Structure formats: structure tokens, C-alpha cells
Amino acid sequence: MLRRRTLVPSYLPPATHTGPDEYPPGEWASHLEVLPYDCVRDEWDISPPFLRFLITLPPCREPMLRNSIPWDAVELNEEIGKLAEHVEAAYMFMVGRRVELECALCQLGGGVFPYCVVIDYEDGQSRCSNCHWECTADGCWLLGNRGQHFFQSSFYEESP
């Protein structure tokens, strides 16, 4: 009688954390730092300029999900890898500053992350990881259009 073996992928992402408690950087932070996502790589190079900026910042916390998001580790990893903005947003959540006064989207329970985490810029502006994940066309709800304009002009050159 022939016995079948179940093949297991050689690497599975770590178990996901859910909110509201914050966890120090751990397995997910290490996983994200490797950037195992094709959507942000051009061969060995990291394509998005904003992500190149983010990877210079030290991790502050483990990436985690709102309690209402039912993804397991594999699903979260797949969702992150779908868009460069998702990779950037997860990295933003990991390295950014948690704010007390949340943006409107976060106050309404929107986005995948359990709380509002922002990246601060030299001119005092901020951008939220949940708004970035949602790819809001008007910028972070914390800033409105001003945030989107600043974000685009800081990391991307405009076409003539």
C-alpha cells in the first residue's frame, strides 16, 4: 500500500496578531524586513521610493490586524503582497508613530490595522498606514488633500 505524504511549504509566515494590544517587533517584523513580495522588487532592487525611505526606520511593533479582519497568516501575507501600497502600509504600521487622535477612517474602524499609525515628515505632516492601505485618492483622512500632495511630491517626481 502506497502512503501519500502531504507537502508543506518550506516557509510559512508567522501567526498573525490581532488588536488592540501592541506587540514588540518579532517574527512578522523580521518577515516584513526581508520584503518577500514581487510587487516591490525589481530583481534585487526595491522599486517604490517611499518603501526605500521606510526601510531606513527601525521597527517599533509587530504588524497586526483589527479583530474584525479574519485573515490567517497565509492570507495576510497574500494580501500584503497584492499591491506595493499594501507592503508600504504594513511597513508604515511597523515603523510609524501611534497617534492618540486618530484620523476619521481609523475612528470609524476602517482599514486593516487596529489603530492609527503615522509616518512623520520633516515639515510636520503625517500619513496614516490604514489610509495608505486603502489607497485613498485624497490622502490620509488626517490631512485631506494636503497629505496626498505632500506624499507624492516628496517621493515621486512629477511627469512633465
93: exposed, middle or buried (C-beta count within 10 Å: 0-12, 13-18, 19+)?
Answer: buried
pLDDT per position as a tens digit, 56-72? 999 999 999 999 999 99
Q: What is the pLDDT of residues 75-122, one digit of tens each?
A: 999 999 999 999 999 999 999 999 988 988 898 898 999 999 999 877
Q: Is 21 exposed, middle or buried (0-12, 13-18, 19+ CB in 10 A)?
A: exposed
Percent of the chain topping pLDDT 70: 75
pLDDT at residue 18 tops 70: yes
- Closest C-alpha to 113, from 76, 58, 60: 76
Is the pLDDT confidence value at 139 over 80? no
Using DSSP, state whether 106 is helix, strand or coil.
helix
